[in-house]
Amino acid sequence: MLDYHMHVENYYPFGRTPDTRPTGTAPMDTLRRFIDSAEARGVHEIAITEHVYHFVQAREIVANAWADEKCFYDMDTYVRILQEGQKAGLPIKVGIEMDYMDGKEDVIERIVNDYPWDFVLGSVHWIGPWGFDLSEHRAEWDRRSVDEAYRAYFRLLMQAVDMGCFSSMSHPDLIKVMGHFPLGDVSDLYEAFADRVAAQPGLCVEISSAGIRKPVGRLYPELPLLEACAARGIAITTASDAHAVEDIGRDFDQVKTLAASCGYTHAMSFTRRVATPVPLSR
C-alpha cells in the first residue's frame, strides 16, 4: 500500500519554534520514524504533504488570522530535508497539500511550479472565511444550510480541479467531516465533480481513512462519489491524512475494501508528478 497524505508539523525539525524541537534529534531520525511506522502497517511508500499555509513563501494563499499563527516554516528547507531523505534511500515522496482559495490561483500556480514536487494534493478547507472542518468554527454549522454548504464546497472544489495543476484531489467530500449530510439529493454534485476530474488528464481522487477518526466516522469519499469517479476511469491515491506517526496506514483494510468495491486494483505512485500504478495488494 501507499500512504500519500500525511503531515509533519508536530515533529522535529518542523516545529514552530526551536524550544519545541527536541535536542539530539536529526531530521533523518524523524523521517525514519515515519517510515518505521508505515512499514509496521504494510505501507511501503509515503508522501509527506504538509499544508501550504505553514510556509512563509505561501503566506498569501490562506491569508487569515488562524493561518497566520501557523505560518512558521521555510519551504526550501522542507523540500531539502525530504530530498535528503530520498538520497538516503528512504521511500519518501516530496509533496504538498495545496489548500485552494478562490482568487489565489496565481500564487498557487507559482508554488506548484517553482518547487520539485513529486506529488501535489488539491484540497478545499475554507468557504470564504469559514474553516468548516475546524472545531473552533463548528458552531457556524448551526447558522448554515447544510445543502447550501455542500454546493458551495463542491463549487470551490471544481474550481480547484479546473486549475489543472494537482496530482490528486484529497478527501473529496470533506464537507461531511462534522457529520452533516444534506437533506436533498447531491448526486448531481458527485457527477459534475467526476466529469471535471475526468477532463484533467492524469488527475486522481483520494480514498482516505481520515474520516474514520473524525466526527463523521466514515471514509472519504462516499461510495456514490467514488463510483462516479470509477465509471469515468479516474485513478486513485490512498491516504491516512496522518498528523501523528501512529496513524500512518491506519484503517487501510477499509480503504482497500472500498476501492475494490468500485473495481480498483491499483493506486498511483508519483515521481516528479508522473504517475505509476501500484497494485493495491502489494
Q: What is the pLDDT of residues 58-84, one digit of tens each?
A: 999 998 999 998 888 899 999 999 999
Tell me the three cell numbers of residue 122. Answer: 488539491
Give the chain's mean pLDDT: 94
pLDDT score for 26: 79
Q: Tell me the average pLDDT across 152-157.
A: 98
pLDDT score for 161: 98
pLDDT score for 15: 60
pLDDT score for 90: 97
pTM (predicted TM-score): 0.94
CA dist 274 to 94, 171, 203, 220, Å? Answer: 13, 21, 10, 24
Q: What is the dihedral of CA 68, 153, 252, 116, to 10 degrees?
A: -50
Q: Tell me the average pLDDT across 138-156.
A: 97
Q: Which domains does the chain have, with CATH numbers?
A: 2-279 (3.20.20.140)
Give the distance, in angstroms, between the CA of residue 236 and the centroid of all CA atoms in the same chain.
Answer: 12
pLDDT > 90: percent of the chain:
89
pLDDT score for 281: 75
Q: What is the pLDDT of residues 115-134, one digit of tens each?
A: 999 999 999 999 999 999 99
Q: For residue 16, what pLDDT band results from cuts at 50, 70 and 90?
A: low
Q: What is the pLDDT of residues 83-95, one digit of tens each?
A: 999 999 999 999 9
